């Protein structure tokens, strides 16, 4: 993928992560799974998904996007 296309993909990935971080559709739902409310399981799963996305982002070189590494080295 080109750098511009990769940037767009990461922007979309993080936008989806932010958009669904709060499960509005589960508000008022009293379903309990394994002793915990369903909305809490949503948060646990969503944080796991966000952690995996961030790890992939950091390991694939996305971390340095928009950062001039030479400026950082010089201080």
Q: Let me know: does 21 contact 46? Beta carbons within 8 Å.
A: yes
What is the residue-level pLDDT of the chain in tens, covering all 75 positions?
676 788 888 899 999 999 999 888 888 888 899 999 999 999 999 999 999 999 998 888 777 666 666 666 665
Question: Looking at the whole model, is its pTM more than 0.75?
Answer: no
Alpha-carbon distance of 19 to 5, in angstroms, equals 21
Give the dihedral sign, CA 10/14/16/17.
positive
């Amino acid at each position: 993928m080109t750098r511009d296309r990769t940037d767009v993909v990461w922007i979309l990935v993080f936008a989806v992560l932010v958009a669904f971080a709060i499960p509005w559709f589960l508000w008022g739902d009293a379903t309990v799974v394994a002793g915990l409310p369903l909305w809490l399981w949503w948060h646990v799963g969503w944080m796991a998904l966000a952690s995996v996305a961030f790890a992939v982002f950091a390991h694939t070189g996305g971390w340095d996007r928009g950062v001039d590494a030479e400026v950082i080295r010089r201080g």
